[in-house]
Amino acid sequence: MRAERHAGVAGLRTRWLEAGQGKPLILLHGASLGSSCDVWSPVIDALAARGLRVVAPDLPGFGETDNPLDPSLRFRMRFVPAFMEAVGIARASVVGHSQSGRIPVMLAFERPECLDRIVVVGTGSLLPPLAGAPKADAGEGEEGGTREPTIEETRALLEDNLHDRSLITREALALRHRMSLGKNFEAFAARGAAKSPGGKAKEGVPPWQRLAEVPVPLRLVYGREDRGNAAERAALAREMYPGLDLHLVDGARHLVMWDAPSELTRLVGEFVGGARG
pLDDT reported for residue 230: 94
Burial 128-147 (b: 16+ CB within 10 A, else e): bbeeeeeebbebbbebbeee
Amino acid at 208: W
Cβ(250)–Cβ(114) below 8 Å: no
Contacts of 50 (CB under 8 A, 6+ apart): 265, 269, 274, 275, 276, 277
Superfamily holding 3-272: Alpha/Beta hydrolase fold, catalytic domain (3.40.50.1820)
pLDDT reported for residue 139: 52
Q: What is the pLDDT along the chain (277 residues), one digit of tens a residue?
A: 899 999 999 999 999 999 999 999 999 999 999 999 999 999 999 999 999 999 999 999 999 999 999 999 999 999 999 999 999 999 999 999 999 999 999 999 999 999 999 999 999 999 999 987 766 544 576 778 889 999 999 999 999 999 999 999 999 999 999 999 999 999 999 998 887 544 344 457 889 999 999 999 999 999 999 988 999 999 999 999 999 999 999 999 999 999 999 999 999 999 998 654 3
For the chain, give the longest Cα–Cα distance.
Answer: 51
Using DSSP, state whether 242 is helix, strand or coil. coil
CA distance 106 to 104: 5
If we measure between CA atoms, which residue out of 181, 236, 241, 186 comes closest to residue 211? Answer: 241
**Strands, sheet with 92-97, edge to edge from the N-terminal-most edge strand:** 3-9, 12-19, 52-57, 23-28, 92-97, 115-121, 218-223, 246-249
Query: Which ranges in 67-222 belong to alpha helices (H)?
Result: 73-86, 102-110, 151-159, 170-178, 183-194
Domain locations in the chain?
Answer: 3-272
The conformation of residue 22, written as its DSSP 8-state character, comes to: S
CA distance 266 to 15: 26
pTM: 0.95
